[in-house]
Amino acid sequence: MDQTPTLSELSAKIDTVLASAEKTRRYMQWTFFITAGALLLPLIAAVFIVPLALSGYTADIQSLVE
């Protein structure tokens, strides 16, 4: 005998797959946000920290030269 799934069984399976796909989408979205933050925040901080460090370094060198 050939057992074909009923419409209600197929609908239940589709709902299960949809819920799983939505969880995967949210997981990938948060992974992207965390990765982007881990890469961009240090770059943004470097824009402010590097000039301060260089000005301090050049001031120290200038004081040694004088």
Cβ-proximal residues to 41 (8 Å cutoff; 6+ apart), any chain: none
User: In this structure, is residue 49 part of a structural domain?
Assistant: yes
What is the token pair recorded at 22? 């939505």
CA dist., res. 56 & res. 41, Å (int): 23
The Cα 60–Cα 8 span in angstroms is: 77
**CA triple 11-12-13, angle to 5 deg:** 90
Residue 2 half-sphere exposure, CB side, CA atoms within 13 Å?
1
Q: How many domains does the chain have?
A: 1
**Residue 11 domain-assigned (yes or no):** no
Average per-residue pLDDT for the chain: 92
Range of the domain at 57: 41-66
How much of the chain exceeds pLDDT 90, in percent?
Answer: 76
pLDDT < 50 positions in the chain: none
